[in-house]
A and B are shown apart, each in its own frame.
Chain A
Amino acid sequence: MTIRKGLSYLAAVTALLAVLAHFHSSVGIAPYSIVLTTTVLFWIAQATSWNLLSGYAGYFSFGQGAYVGVGAYSMAVLTGRHDVGFLWSIPIGGLLGGVLALAVGAVAFRLGSLRGEIFALLTLAVPFLLATFARINMDIDGGQGTVIALPAYPQWVGDAQHMLFYLSLAVAALAVAVALAVHGSRYGHGLAAVHDAEDAAEVLGVPTFRYKMVAIVLGGVLGGMGGAVFAMQIGFVAVESVFGLTIPLFVIVISVLGGRRHWLGPVIGAVLVVVLQDRLSAGGLESLENIVMGALLVGLVIVAPDGLYGRLRARPWLALGAFAVVLIGMSLTGYWAELDALLYAMFAAAIVATLADRFLAQPTPKSPDATFSPTRVAADRSGRTPQPAARAAGAADAGATEVAQLPLLHAAEALPGLAEAAPQAGEARAAEAVVGLGEAAPQAGEARAAEAVVGLGEAAARGRALVSCVGVTRDFGGVRALDGVSLQVFPAEIVGLVGPNGSGKTTLVNLLCGALQPTRGTVAIGGRPIGGLAPHRVAHTGVARTYQIPRPFESMTVRDNVAMAVMFGRTGASLSQARSKAQQHLATVHLGHLADVRPGSLNLHQRQLLEMARAIAAEPVVLLLDEALAGLNPAEIDDAVAVIRRIHATGISIVVVEHLLRVLNQLSTRIVVLDRGAVIADGDPAQVLSDPAVVRAYLGRQRA
């Protein structure tokens, strides 16, 4: 559903509700329904606004009461003491809620290492703090509580309850509209990426800090406006009623029940929870309210942590059927009030939808080759089998080794100015050799031209450095991870970065992509210093990276994982453009046939390939591969090496962090060896690997 279509549905539903309320007596709606619906609308607004940060972006907050309280007290103080009209007090309440959210976010999200749990605990303290503030501040109410007089309203509104209803409806519709628009937009996808893998999102170019700030402020504004209307509804604002934990409890139960990753989730949850609450009080069981809600939360996290929306979506007719049967059945018997019947019918639908999968077991479709079998991995590549990287692993006899013709690489097209390049069919390495050379025409079987050129060591042959580290030092506390490292990467290179564990390889990668700042020294990308730039800005200068342990966005399909990188990459693109581009990048790594599955059903090798596809989708000039071959079997390594060559052939320079020397020896045009944070060798692979210092530090007797 597009955003525009969604918004028009929302407008229609809002208008319908308003009309029904206005003519309630003519259509036979009991006045009590309007009271109840007003409550539902309040919770829809609260849960929806909470959901922007806590659901979409996954930063759980226990602090919703703070925004409600700020809004409610704005209404109380402004109308009660300063004669501000109530219609003005609502947006002011929203504004103050937004300011509070801004302050909380500015503190919380500035903490780089802040984990979700700490954020949750921090937000737990905010309402408590505001409560003390209200208690001690005589300009507010000194903890006495404030009665809110009913304001004057125009005649056409009807009674006071109608006025509250319309105001609540307006705020709730606004909140849902915002959530809906965010959900379908580029921004919403960015928030989902933050939820799934924040670090990976940032290095792909998602401005995570700004996105989180926007989400928390939107939540604060909507929460504050809702709180202002809520104050009129309850008529008496006291510290306990707004700053307690009941509001966060309800908001969390509603969202967890309905589902946190979709804008409809909180709406569904609010209806169910409010009717349940109403029935409890109707049955004289108010004192059990929090107990039921608490127990519901515990049960939900265990049974259906993803909420009802997804389940209802999967089995809409079954749920609707159960709903209708129970509702009609109970109404016909006549023993039950309408609301009781409604409650039971909703529960029936929810239970049927939740449990359907258990009893009507239907195996979820799996990716066709979600196993480690090398034969199948190799055979599945759209009928083609990649040629193993010559003697790379020197050791592959699995299905992957059957030699097939590799399609001509489109290196020449990808690189303007390389028109003469004529790589031979079946010669995967030729393309690599061509890049940056212009006139090289390597012969079949001999493919080390690029290496030969780089081996000249002349800067002129290399062109301007894409990456340039000068004297980079990085300390962690008292421990020096990198010590005066200088390193350059030139166009068309594949630089192998090796070194013993703890020698600073990963630290260097983190510095190059901006995830860490150097203690001393400078890093420049394409001649531009990146000191002080956030990682997403560094990404836009043309650096992309993969992670040793793949960090895909688990909630998105493989295609959307890659589309994210296109959308937030240097060029930017709309979602639909990005999706079609993503398909091309997936084809480059031979994952095209798995575009519609979720990353969860990929094997390690495929996840690594996905990492690479996502990285190249950002259209980088330099790609940092952090141990992209770790844990792969020989056939998969061959396959991955072929992919790396293909990526290289499109004109991207590559830095490979890797332990497998045989692979590096074949793949890289230059090898840099780190030991205890310092560069101890840098140059031609064969030369470096026979350097006595390198042998001593790293290779040991195996190669000596």
Chain B
Amino acid sequence: MLEVRGVDARYGDAQALWGVAIDVADGEMVCIVGPNGAGKTTLVHTIAGLHPCAAGTITIGGVDIARLPGHRVGDHGVATVPEGRRVFGHMTVRDNLLLGAYRRRARSRYRQTEAEVYQLFPRLQERARQPAGSLSGGEQQMLAIGRALMARPRLLLLDEPSLGLAPVILDEVFHAIAVIAATGVGVLLVEQDVERAMSACSRGYLLLEGRIAAAGTTAQLREDADVRQRVLGG
């Protein structure tokens, strides 16, 4: 469903991505691993339209979204859970969720989606009227995911969901992500906790200095020399 082909991205003169190509199918969980500074977040931002795509194509269900401005990319079913969660701290939990359904398409069914999100994360319902800034880190992560789900995406981009979270909470979060994928949503996961990412996903890519250095099933990646050396710390 998602096809990224030959994508470059730059910061001024500095090129951060070089001819990146990845695929994600409906309902599939795919991870991107790589050391800090490899360009993982840039890749997520480029797919989400938050960073300009300098070359290449990014298609969702056959539609090229590479040149669309950030606020239009979501029209094609891409939703992002940004690094560091970035929930709207001054707004209530519920307002955060409803914001996720800002788009016309999602807006018409927001009640139904909201109920689904509460089913997935019951804690959010308990805290619906609290300001999002008062939630714990784990709850904020759930909120960020819930907010993205409110957009009724086909593809969910998750950027470092484990950042700063306790393992117990992480189990819960990763379980929820698997549930989401099981409903047919494609998941692209960028994660520093490589072990966890590898065990959650079926396929993965290794990103090194802005290039795809290895690709395959997570089982294959575990055996890859680069992966072992560069990210598994073996």
Contact = CB atoms under 8 A, between A and B. Distances in A.
A and B touch in the complex (CB under 8 A): yes
Interface of A: 370-374, 393-395, 398, 500-503, 603, 630-634, 636-637, 660, 662, 696-697, 700-702, 704
Interface of B: 11, 13-16, 35-38, 84, 137, 162-168, 170, 193-196, 209, 229-231, 233
Contact of B193 (A372, A394, A702): A702
Nearest to A632: B37
State the 9 A-B residue pairs at the shortest beta-carbon distance, nearest first: A501-B164, A633-B37, A372-B14, A500-B164, A700-B167, A395-B230, A371-B14, A702-B193, A702-B195
A660 B193 contact: no
A634 B37 contact: yes
A176 B193 CA distance: 61
Nearest to B197: A702
Contacts of A398: 209
A394 B229 contact: yes
Contacts of B164: 500-503
Given A372-B11, A501-B84, A696 B166 contact: yes
Contact of A370 (B13, B35, B162, B233): B13
A655 B84 CA distance: 24
Contact of A702 (B15, B165, B166, B196): B196
A500 B166 contact: yes
A662 B35 CA distance: 12
B13 A633 contact: no
Contacts of B14: 370-373, 603
Contacts of B196: 700-702
Contacts of B165: 500, 700
B37 A631 contact: yes
A697 B167 CA distance: 7
A702 B163 contact: no
A interface, over-half SS = loop
Contacts of B37: 631-634, 636-637
A699 to B, nearest CB: 8
Nearest to B229: A395
Nearest to B195: A702
Nearest to A633: B37
Nearest to B133: A479
A501 B229 contact: no
B35 A634 contact: yes
Given A395-B230, A502-B164, A702 B170 contact: no
A632 B35 CA distance: 10
Contacts of A660: 36
B166 A372 contact: no
A332 to B, nearest CB: 50
Q: Among A373, A393, A503, A701, which residue has the most Cβ atoms of chain B within 10 A?
A: A701
A500 to B, nearest CB: 4
Nearest to A661: B233
B193 A633 contact: no
Contacts of B230: 395, 634
Contacts of A394: 229, 233
B22 to A, nearest CB: 20
Contacts of B166: 500, 696-697, 700
B170 A371 contact: no
Given A501-B137, A696-B166, A700-B193, A632 B36 contact: yes
Nearest to B194: A702
Given A501-B84, A633-B36, A636-B37, 13 more contacts: A398-B209, A501-B137, A502-B164, A503-B164, A632-B36, A633-B35, A634-B230, A637-B37, A700-B166, A700-B167, A700-B193, A702-B194, A702-B196
B26 to A, nearest CB: 28
A660 B233 CA distance: 12
A502 B13 contact: no
A700 B233 contact: no
23 contacts: A374-B209, A398-B209, A500-B137, A501-B84, A502-B137, A502-B164, A603-B14, A630-B36, A631-B37, A632-B37, A633-B36, A633-B38, A634-B230, A696-B166, A696-B167, A700-B162, A700-B167, A700-B170, A700-B196, A701-B193, A702-B194, A702-B196, A704-B167
A700 B169 CA distance: 10
A393 B13 CA distance: 26
A41 to B, nearest CB: 46
Given A398-B209, A701-B193, A372 B16 contact: yes
Q: Among B36, B38, B137, B231, which residue has the most Cβ atoms of chain A within 10 A?
A: B36
Contacts of A696: 166-168
Nearest to A479: B134
A12 B31 CA distance: 73
Contacts of B16: 372
Contacts of A702: 193-196
Contacts of B209: 374, 398, 633
B224 to A, nearest CB: 13
Contacts of A704: 167
A701 B165 CA distance: 12
Nearest to A395: B230
A654 B173 CA distance: 36
A503 B11 CA distance: 31
A393 B233 CA distance: 9
A394 B35 CA distance: 11
A395 B167 contact: no
A157 to B, nearest CB: 61
Nearest to A374: B209
Nearest to B35: A634
A660 B167 CA distance: 18
Contacts of A634: 35-37, 230
A521 to B, nearest CB: 25
